[in-house]
């Protein structure tokens, strides 16, 4: 599975949109982009995933560039409870061997009042 690159930390003002970038320049055609977040000491929480089309759910929007080499997770109106570490991962669904799945250290997002 392809490796991802994320900035180690970001800040965002409460009520504003938080845009979290992820670079996955070696992504292959059948790999999906997944986003999770981890609020301090809790288990990671799934947010959203996509292949090439932009996706939106009740938590966030996912924008994937046309060449699929990068993506952006958008939290439209960040709240203090969105302060967390955000992970961008690429993988092949249903792949029998997940050994090479790399989570990385993610982006630590601080939402400030």
Q: Please return the burial class of 10, using the count of CB atoms within 10 Å of its CB with bins 0-12, 13-18 and 19+.
A: middle
Query: Given candidates 8, 41, 58, 67, which one binds other proteins under the rule CB under 8 A?
Result: 41
CB of 14 to other proteins, least distance (A): 26
* Binding flags for other proteins, 68-97, as an x/- string (CB under 8 A): -------------------x-----xxxxx
Cβ nearer to other proteins, comparing 94 with 113: 94
Tokens of 101: 């799945």
Count of residues engaged in binding other proteins, rule: CB under 8 A: 27
- Which distant-in-sequence residues (6+ apart) come within 8 Å of 94 by Cβ? none
Q: Name the residues that contact other proteins, by CB under 8 A.
A: 32, 34, 36, 41-49, 87, 93-106
């Amino acid at each position: 599975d392809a490796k991802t690159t994320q900035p180690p930390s970001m800040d965002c003002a409460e009520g504003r949109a938080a845009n979290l970038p992820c670079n996955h320049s070696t992504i292959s055609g059948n790999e999906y982009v997944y986003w999770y977040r981890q609020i301090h000491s809790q288990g990671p929480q799934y947010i959203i995933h996509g292949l090439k089309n932009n996706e939106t759910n009740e938590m966030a929007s996912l924008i994937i560039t046309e060449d699929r080499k990068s993506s952006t997770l958008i939290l439209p109106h960040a709240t203090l409870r969105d302060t967390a570490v955000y992970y961008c991962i690429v993988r092949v669904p249903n792949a029998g061997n997940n050994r090479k799945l790399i989570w990385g250290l993610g982006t630590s997002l601080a939402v400030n009042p």
